[in-house]
Structure 1
Amino acid sequence: MFFSFLLNCMFYRSAYGADEHHGNVCFRRWWQSWIDYLIQDLTGATSNGYHHHDFGSKTPRRPGAIDNTDLIDDASFEVSNTEIEIHDNLVEGRDYILVPQQVWEKLHGWYGGGPTLPRKAINTGFSQTDLAIEVYPLRLQLILMSREERTFIRISKKDTVGQLHKRACKVFDLVPAEVCIWDYYGRTKHSLMDSLDKTLDDSNIQMDQDILVEVTTDANGSLDGLVKRNNFFERESTSLITDALKSGLPNENFAANSYASRSYNSSLTPSLYLRSTNGDLDNVHGSSGMSTRGSPLGLTGLLNLGNTCYMNSAIQCLVHTPQFTRYFCEDYHREINRQNPLGNVGELALAFGELLRKLWAPGGRAPVSPRPFKTKLSRFASQFSGYNQHDSQELLAFLLDGLHEDLNRVKHRPYINSGDADGRSDEEVADEYWANHIARNNSIIVDVCQGQYKSTLVCPVCGKVSVTFDPFMYLSLPLQFASTRSVTAVVFSCDGSVPPTPFTVNVPKQGRCRDLLQALGTACSLKNGEKLLIAEIRNHKIYRFIDDPVLQLSTISDDDHLAVYKLPKLEKRVNYIQFVHRHEDLDHGNTNTLTSWKPYGVPLLAQISRNEIVTGLDIHELVHKMLVPMLRNQDFMRLVVQSSVSTRTHSYHTDSSKFQLQLIDDSNTVIEKSNDAIRVPQSSLATVFFINWLKEDLKKIDTHHLEYLPEVFMYGPPAKRTRGEALSLYACLDAFLREEPLVPEDMWYCPRCKEQRQASKKLDLWRLPEVLVIHLKRFSFSRSTKQKLETFVNFPIHDLDLTNYIANKKSSERQIYELYAVSNHYGNMASGHYTAHIKLVDENRWYNFDDSHVASIDEDEVKTAAAYVLFYRRVREQDRARGTSNGSHLYAKRSHGYSHR
């Protein structure tokens, strides 16, 4: 059976042969339609779990030809499959599915279509079995300086420098023995790439960077056109560079990517672009000539290496922790513990320290590549190898623990057995536990981030009480379940009464289509005799109607685009007509070229009774009526006046609304404004008419109504819309500290009963750290489901007061904290994106760090429903009284006294 073969291939990957590791990219929607068809054919049920005879559900049809065109980047489409470019922002599972080679060959043989998008598997770890399909091979720009030529190529990051050298020689038709290549990232010579067996991954070559190709001219290897002066190679002919310098702006043809353009500065000289090979990257910031006067440090982004936004978000929060900034910018090497068997031979701390220094180095704000750090991270934590999306909090937990072990000042841990309380006070016992902990764990991480719980267990049978005092690195607070989700859609009134209007409504997260219809009907004041028809819009056409009342809303993705059409209810069966807008697409303005038409905007929708005789004039009237509210004011008033005094025919024949309709059928019939009957072809979805707009006619309508169709859920600040479900951070903390019985899987052994008991457990905060990290548990898992909680948590930015939560009542100091960093997660479980909101403490300004992009934001933009991990720093009473920022001056003097709070 092919079904069993499919399962074997897709889930056990046995389709990958020993000598052939290939896969193919397949458009997810086509794949899903085929899976529905296959399951229906085998079981009689759809992938949603409904039988085709239930609730009038439609039986899935056999899918048509495979269509991958939506994945293709039209701007770079080439004829050869090896040159076909796909969009850069595609996400596996949301936009495409990776199909094993044997499965693809079967499907392509049955259904045809394409284009075929083959991809190879590469090794992502230390084991030969750690394989992953490389969906996005490196895209590099090769620059041959002597000819001022450049070209883009695709090459695997696991290919070697020698293979890249060979490709460069073939592209430019050069003699290999006379060619050398340079790592030319950011238009700066970093290193000569002469280790031919080294992979591009190990050479830290980045996506979209430049590779400089140079040709030698003599047997001694002198570079053509280069002379060595003062340890710099300077080119005698630098027209390509100097042309860019003259304008004071980056040369668009020269900049390979936006990062290079963003890092450009007119004060750079050609000799600095062609810098010495014996320099290093750290010196670039200091010697580049970029002025930092009046510009704060620490505003440097991180390149996304491929789904590494989770890592970038966590790193930015840590490197902007003032105590860590000071520590790693000083001589932290003396505290590296290379002998710790629980550590990483100090390599993780060294990699993090070097990355932090680059992010805080004076100079320009060109994004920094975290690839060296990522390589070390993957080596010591295989769960983070490869380029799949991960959890920023899980990375943060590993990183803090790993840094602690690498920087533990205790070289030989003593064995310590903490004694029972034996009637001693909590204060005495807590100090003993803490002293024992410090005797084995003493690092900058403990100094800054670790606090202490009081944990109380009570046996439900004998009443035995056990009290322990345990360290913690962060607090993981539970959230209330978010039972609703917000959906945004634009409602089009098909009677022309009002312009298109967007609405955002809250619906049950596990609801059905009827719930969305009811919420939208209330929002748009639906009248008796009217109905709503929801459509998903793709490529400016209606892709599908969402009209099954029991369809689960989980089938609507956050990045879908919905149009809702308000139509009159008709007793008779109807046919739908969608009017797809097209505008002129002249070939470079050549008037001798025939006009071509390009789809545009959001289609309009009308309905007609089946078997009804329809004339061309009827079709024109339908369109005119729907366009009236979109006409600009002057044209609208003229149309109203003319309509009141003209006959039916002439009222819709004004210059202000002149356009042409084209019916799509076998003959591409043009619909004239006449009383002649026309044939409307039957369609399983909606018959398509084109509205061809001339440029001058398009100016007469407010195109905003046609162009703007928001996503179902907009990522970023719009997440504030869920504030109707706001939850206080204090309420989350109360729930975390509430006394609860242990779960059956985590029973406690009662020393008095000598049996496992389901004891009650109560946590209290006893000792708080200088930096308090709070994890909001947004991701919920069970045996059958996994989901993200979109609950908005109202967390304080200033004056988080935890004084009353401290169980140590003899502590007289107030526990006040201020927010300085947030790791955000936008999206859902299947696909999402991480960013960081960071406050530069000494500048007292907030910034949004979105991978390589850094932008200033207002403080009121910091609170969103995307907040995932919160970073608070302690504020002392004397600093609050003085109104000081408690910034770098506080951590300038690092003291181990943190350990004795």
Structure 2
Amino acid sequence: CYACGKEVFLERNLGPHCPVPSTKTLTSPLTNNTQVMIDVCVSQDRCVYLSPLGLTGLKNIGNTCFMNAALQALSNCPPLTQFFVECGGLVRTDKKPALSKSYQKLVSDLWHKSRPSYVVPTSLFQGIKAVNPMFRGYSQQDSQEFLRCLMDQLHEELKEPLAEPLDNDQHSHAIAMDDDGPDDDSPSQSDNDFQSCESCGGGSSERVDREGQGGSGDGQAAPPPREESNEAEMLIPDGPDSSHSFGQTNREWQKEKNLINDLYRGSGAAGSGGDLDKDVDTAPIVSSQGTIKVQIQSRMAVHMEGHCLTKMSSSPPKTNSVWPGMSSSHKKVSSFSSTKSQKKYRSVISDVFDGTIVSSVQCLTCDRVSVTLENFQDLSLPIPGKEDLAKLHSSSHQTSLIKAGSCGEAYAAQGWVAFVMEYIKRFVIWWWGPVVTLQDCLAAFFTRDELKGDNMYSCEKCKKLRNGVKFCKVQSVPEILCIHLKRFRHELMFSTKIGTHVSFPLEGLDLQPFLAKDSSAHTTSYDLLSVICHHGTASSGHYIAYCRNDLNNLWYEFDDQSVTEVSESCVQNAEAYVLFYKKSNEEALKERRRVTGLLGVTEPSLLQFYVSRQWLNKFKTFAEPGPISNDDFLCSHGGVPPAKAVFIDDLVVMLPQNAWDHLYSRYGGGPAVNHLYVCHTCQTEIEKLEKRRRTELDMFVRLNKAFQEEESPVIIYCISMQWFREWEGFVKGKGNDPPGPIDNSKIAINKNGHLTLRQGADSGQISEETWNFLHSIHGGGPLITVRPNVSHTNASHPELEASSQSKEKI
């Protein structure tokens, strides 16, 4: 096109491809639902005998091989692809740029029955450029950075709030122990938000080098973390007889202490467990203050429970995790923190890719141990060099591993034969160079790291930078494990690429050696799904993907629009950059066949049960689908939310009683649903909420208009624009949740005992009547005023006026 300079594809004139026919919707309670369920369970098996789908290339539209390889690797992850193909009714979003809809359309085209030779991903590419400007233009980008950005945006568009469970003891082990309880207000390294799992195995040094890893600079392109941070302080009260109180609670606290120590005793991947346990055991665990800190981070449901503690006070999430000083009565200093409850969210992205890591840091001066639970979406593994491999394979390291009970079996010597083989292996390594395996990379990642020099640990108790030790273990494993090998290093003046070949298994990657001792993971074996490879140097090159087709289990090379079948040896010799592994569980396949057999029985059923189509997709594609969850089409009252009633057929599938009984007895969960109805309670709440929005907006517009007409107000009240934007989104219907109490703490500063407006603060000015109106509804504070005849005041914030003017136009 001479007008815009873009390439015109003539084949588009032949008409667009027909969309992939979705699974049959529920037109009536008894219309062919058994066949629908059979399709959901066994359509994959029936397609084995047909020509395989998914062998469609992607057109390179200007140095986009990084995107094409990543999309092909994702497309061959069955849990994610089947969601977009069979649960398309759940892909509903009004968030721009609607990247989830573009990705759904792309997946439908790639797996269409017409089997086009290639597809042009223009819509998705435009959307990703709108999300992250770094991908604009035609320069080569990093494939792993693109993956992070894409999956982060998909999660944001598809996330749904989680129903709060009654028992909140799932993650009660993420605690940090203090000997005396911190008194400082300064942020520490251990309490800062973890943005990537890169910080785990490599310790702080890996986190410092984060900007130097990744094809085009991870520091630039890594999307902002979507984890929400929840913090709480669980306290044992003290009094005049604190020693007696401590004696009474020590027996109960001993259980918690043992639980913490057992989590790492004998489970350190690098032999650090013994040292840490010794330090922890010899240090006083609870002082007279008896302060224990809990910090839990998750984008999903993460809950906290004090087993034996008698008092608990919560604090709001903060950008920097600063723990305020505690008074003798253990009360928070800040009295104006927002008490708005932080909702937990989940999406198909978090269901498929999220795992959990337990990370601990110990100060070597005061022996304080900080334990943090954090989610990870991928593991960024270092590629060990000769010295690192020698350390990993050394006899001393083997001994420590055996004592730790983690990776010992991988390296333990077994008699004189193994002794001789070890020396032969060392000679081969000395002559030909080291052979690096993916297991070596995992061991290097989970080995303990010494925090010293430039990477010293900022200890809250010591209030200084101290030498420390850090290591981590896997608490829960994801359904699909994404592994990123750090092949690129970016220095100040140049970039380099690590071309070392890393040997990786096609089947049977085992994470058992790296699990925390109390991990509840049952399936830890993984099989390879796809590999992203980079050919070239750090400054230029080309990306391709090797993917295993899930329908015929053959491997194919995806090189832009070219798709070629390759052998397994070709895949194993590839220079891997990003790998996708899926849980392997033969029992899940047997279970699907059992359900298929039950559905084939023609015995009539008196009752029919509705089951979430999304959970059935998990049952079909997950190794561990988890309990049945019908919350995606039910409200907390047991009915269908009014907003979902119009497309309820896209959300549910009806099963006969025998199939439901089998699934319910096998997986649990629920609730059981054999009748669908629109929830009148939710409808009433929606109407009340809408009425409240109109009332607050009308009153604010009227009061603000009077304030604008006032020529010389005696006093002006200041309000945080961050809070006001949340309130404005609520009253305009952009959000369903009220903003919570007014929080002016970020715009206030204490001068000579008086709160005044912080210079340059993001604040707006309102009248006394407006403040009283908002404060009477939402509460909060603190109160900040400005007197025009005493100090200079800025003009009213334009966003406040914009809200008033928009309402007047309406």
TM-score (norm 1): 0.39
Higher strand share: 1
TM-score (norm 2): 0.43
Larger Rg: 1
Higher helix share: 2
